[in-house]
Structure 1
Amino acid sequence: MNIPRFYRAAIAISALFIGLAQSAQADIVTLAGDTTGGPTFDRPLVNFSNYSPNGTGAVYESIAFTVEDEGEYSITMHGLGFDTFLLLYETAFDPVAPLINGVVANDDLVSLRTSGFAADLVAGEQYFVVVTGFSSDQFGAYSLTISGDGVISAVPEPSTWLMLAFGVTAFACAQRRKSGD
């Protein structure tokens, strides 16, 4: 067994994990995604007082993030060919109970395809942006931008961590097999 080779691989994998856990180190974070084929929920009204009759079974994607500095942050989304709807939750987002923890929501900031708002955010608090469409037939590719004075840290989805763990395991197995020859 070639130990130095194994340690080099372990160091490279550790550096990869550390890199993923680091903050974005910028005051503007832009993420792209696609809600097509995603999970569904019954979307609330803009004021979180009740469920929208137009939002039953709306496809959504949730992005968790924190901010390092307290202050006003701008969150905007542009949908590619669909009527967008954007929501912000504090502490937790539960698609089964979307009326709870809602902070602010918006439909049609500039046009049908753009939603957004400004919100005063607290440093270290966990927030969730929920990207969805106005109704169940409104979904697709989108671009989401979060900006403000402090460092913004987007938290990867659990599926991203699972894919990374699978890749690291496959890499370690390949290295072990290679060094065993």
Structure 2
Amino acid sequence: MNFNKLLRATLTICALSAGLIGNARADFHIDRGDTTGAPTLDVGAIFIDAGSAVPYDALSFEVTAAGTWQFLAIAGFDSAIFLYEGAFDPAAPTDHLLRVNNDLLSPDTSGFVHFLVPTVQYTVVVAGLTDSDFGQYSLTIGGPGSVQVSAVPEPSTWLMLAGGLTAVAFARRRRAAR
């Protein structure tokens, strides 16, 4: 085989590989947070010898493509990561629980791989292992598509909405009484 044929074959293989790789799309979503002073969760319901009032942070999301998704949490504390299908209820931490991990590479890293599908809401929770494990963390989610983060309203937002609707109802009732 002469050098020109070898060069052409190599360039053809590289071009085909680049085309295949170019069509495969993988995005990463990175979320940074802090569980200091956050609401608490009974991690002991999931892990033996874990805390019963562990601060946590939750992120609700959907994915745009079915496939294998990677989750990695790196924290400044002994961390655990939980994946739920649908909404997360801290009063029932084992309901709808899909995956959980603690100490992936070290006590401050947690992660796993899980198959996700589009149009399903998921919630990932980052927490410590004991009541005194809290602080800053970084969460990375990567897979074959993109992550669509759901906005979860604060309780104060719900309270303001309820107050506004009550005021509107009161004004309409008052107007109708006249």
TM-score of the two chains, using structure 1 as the length reference: 0.68
Query: How many angstroms apart in 2 are the aligned matches of 1:94 and 1:76?
Result: 22
What residue number does 2:49 align with?
53
1:115 to 107, 110, 114: 110
Q: 1:79 aligns with which of 62, 72, 75?
A: 75
- How far 1:26 sits from its partner (Å)? 6.8
What is the CA-CA distance between 1:123 and the residue it aligns to? 0.9
| CA deviations over 1:146-181 (Å, ceiling 9, x no partner) | 00011211123313x95xx9xxxxxxxxxxxxxxxx
Q: What's the CA shift for 1:37?
A: 0.1
2:29 maps to amino acid: V
Corresponding residue number in structure 2 for 1:146: 141
Residue 44 of structure 1 contacts residue 98 of structure 1 at CA under 8 Å; is this kept in 2?
no
- Report whether the alignment pairs 1:133 with 2:125: no
Distance in 1 (CA, whole Å) between partners of 2:39 and 2:119 is 28
Tell me the residue number matched to 1:14: none
Q: Distance in 2 between matches of 1:29 and 1:128?
A: 14
Match runs of 1:1-181 below 5 Å: 27-43=27-43, 50=46, 52-80=48-76, 82-159=77-154, 162=157
Contact kept in structure 2, 1:42 and 1:52, CA below 8 Å: no
- 2:172 — aligned with what? none
What is the aligned-residue identity percentage? 39
Separation of aligned partners in 2, 1:145 and 1:91? 19
Match for residue 171 of structure 1? none
Structure 1 residue 134: deviation in Å?
A: 0.9
Matching residue's letter, 1:83: D
Cα shift readout 1:134-154 (whole Å, capped 9, x = no counterpart): 111000000000000112111
Aligned equivalents of 2:151 and 2:44: distance in 1?
Answer: 25
Q: Which runs of 5+ in 1 are unaligned?
A: 1-24, 166-181
Asked if 2 retains the 8 angstrom alpha-carbon contact of 1:42 and 1:51, the reply is: no
Aligned residues: 134
Task: Kindly report structure 1 stretches of 4+ aligned residues shifted beyond 2 Å.
Answer: 50-53
1:115-139 Cα distance to aligned partner (Å, 9 max, x none): 0000000111000000000111000
Whole-angstrom CA distance in 2 between matches of 1:85 and 1:130? 8
Instruction: Give 2:7's aligned residue.
Output: none
Cα distance in structure 2, aligned partners of 1:130 and 1:152? 15
